[in-house]
Amino acid sequence: MKNRYTPLTLIVAVLVIAAASGFLFAPPAQESPVRVVMDNSGGRVIFSHAKHAEDLGYDCADCHHDNIGQDKPLACATCHPVAFDKKFRSEHQKNFPDKKACLRCHDEVPTGPLAKEDRPDTENIPLLSDAFHKQCMGCHEQDGGPYGADSCYKCHAR
């Protein structure tokens, strides 16, 4: 009777060891996300960092602004919102790791709410969709990626 539990005990032991090793020997953290999903009115876009960086040879600074007070690139929506609405104006500063990044858009590091005349000219800061289109379509046109009116659904999901 004891012999019938032996295979079951071995299977459970192997599964426990496999699960424990997954926690003990986890893979190293990625430098950048493998893929980024961007939801938008034109249809979801799944952007592959691996394809653009490893396969096509782009560097982080080719797409992300550099020298704005951070060690790693920031998410695009940190500076380029969907809209420059009240929520963005009141909360965006929480997304920056260092106050030096404020100088990208502000003349001085803000210490409180700004008067209307002291706010950055948001007419010259593209919204998120405009920033993506300018950045992505510019490279696609220059480097031979999908480009033009008939190519939208090569990146945008229907």
- Per the CB < 8 A criterion, the answer to whether 147 and 140 are in contact is yes
DSSP 39-85: --TT--EEEEHHIIIIIT---HHHHS--SSS-SSPPPGGGTS-S---
**Cα 41 from Cα 78, distance rounded (Å):** 19
Is 136 assigned a ligand-binding role in the annotation? Answer: no
Is 105 assigned a ligand-binding role in the annotation? Answer: yes
- Per the CB < 8 A criterion, the answer to whether 12 and 20 are in contact is no
Is 102 assigned a ligand-binding role in the annotation? Answer: yes
- Per the CB < 8 A criterion, the answer to whether 154 and 146 are in contact is yes
- Per the CB < 8 A criterion, the answer to whether 52 and 64 are in contact is no
Is 65 assigned a ligand-binding role in the annotation? Answer: yes
Is 79 assigned a ligand-binding role in the annotation? Answer: yes
Is 92 assigned a ligand-binding role in the annotation? Answer: no
Is 133 assigned a ligand-binding role in the annotation? Answer: no
Is 139 assigned a ligand-binding role in the annotation? Answer: no
- Tokens standing for residue 14: 């192997």
Q: Which residues contact 101 (CB under 8 A, 6 or more apart)?
A: 68, 69, 70, 74
Binding-site residues, in ranges, read 49, 52, 60, 63-65, 76, 79-80, 102, 105-106
Binding-site residues for heme c, in ranges, read 49, 52, 60, 63-65, 76, 79-80, 102, 105-106
